[in-house]
Amino acid sequence: MKNILAPVDFSKEAAHAALYAGALAQHLNAQLTLLFVFHMPIPISEAPYPIDFDTLEKENRKMLKDLAEEIESKYQVKAKQMIIAGFADDEILDATAGNEYDLIVMGSRGSGNRLSEWMGSTTTAVLTKSVVPVLVIPEHVTFSIPRVIALACDFQKTTKARVFAPLSSLSRQFESTVKILNVSEEKEQEALQDKNSELEKQLNGIPHTYCFESAIDVEKGINKFLNAHPADWMAIVVHKHSFINRLFFETYAKPLAMHTRIPLLALSEAVSVHAVKA
């Protein structure tokens, strides 16, 4: 991991995630870029706005500079600064489309009954559409080296080895152990034992174990696993097909996101070539 993008909107959650990204960049010896996207409302009358574009951009640059200086002071990481006018999720996805970044770090609100409320609509949109891995940071989590990474897998779906490459890279850099979780009905587990070959290609040489939780209710299985197997990060695979994506998030990722207080690493099934090589 050589290049990390941290989008910010100057909320406390985003600022916290940016500081986490600074600590992460320090440990990985990576370049950090702070990105702020602002949207100028379209006038609906001839009445002038109380603030013009240039003034707004100047104020935003000052806040972004202050955040970059705080990161440099705390973590000795000199962050690049980018300000773009547009819609946040579109501009974040466009910024990562050129294969320059290996990881996106974003904040979550940590409350709400829906995934978009818990993460925020921008974080949710980026997480579900990005070809670059996204690390979502809960509001009160401070950085520590992820010695144990839990990976939630659905072995009934075929996932190519390249999807797990970013997880492999991070695990090697942090010398992490990976605990692989599958929640299914007990009668299905024996059949699922053989569906790990693609994952094994990326985890070769990395300490890892398989954990099978017997449960009809995925959420209960996840909670049981997390109670018995403490982890520093949780990783999931985001599938590219829209229907599968929605179904997976409702049955698997949503319980993970909303009931864990650890960073959530989302691996894209449509992972970019750059992310694979990072």
The yes-or-no verdict on residue 191 having pLDDT over 50 is: no
Could you tell me how many residues make up the chain?
Answer: 278
Which fold is adopted by the domain 148-262+269-277?
A: Rossmann fold (3.40.50)
Q: What is the pLDDT of residue 184?
A: 74
pLDDT digits (tens, 9 = 90+) for 5-31: 999 998 899 999 999 999 999 999 999
Q: What does CATH list as the number for 3-137?
A: 3.40.50.620
Please tell me the pTM assigned to this model.
0.84
53-75 and 12-28 helices, crossing angle to 10°: 40
What is the per-residue pLDDT for 244?
42
Do the domains 148-262+269-277 and 3-137 match in fold?
A: yes
| pLDDT at res. 194 | 53
pLDDT recorded at residue 62: 94
pLDDT (tens digit per residue) in 214-255: 777 776 777 788 888 889 998 988 876 544 455 455 555 555
Domain range summary for the chain, segments of one domain joined by +: 3-137, 148-262+269-277
Using H for helix, E for strand and C for coil, what is the string for the chain? CCEEEEEECCCHHHHHHHHHHHHHHHHHCCEEEEEEEECCCCCCCCCCCCCCHHHHHHHHHHHHHHHHHHHHHHHCCCCEEEEEECCHHHHHHHHHCCCCCCEEEEECCCCCCCHHHHHCHHHHHHHHHCCCCEEEECCCCCCCCCCEEEEECCCCCCCCHHHHHHHHHHHHHHCCEEEEEEEECHHHHHHHCCCCHHHHHHHCCCCEEEEEEECCCHHHHHHHHHHHCCCCEEEEEECCCHHHHHHHHHHHHHHHHHCCCCCEEEEECCCCHHHHHC
How far is residue 140's CA from residue 152's CA, in Å, rounded to a whole number?
Answer: 23
Per-residue pLDDT of 139-167, as tens digits, reads 889 999 999 999 987 766 667 888 899 99
* 172, two tokens: 């090697």
Which tens digits make up the pLDDT trace of 80-111?
999 988 888 899 999 998 778 999 999 986 54
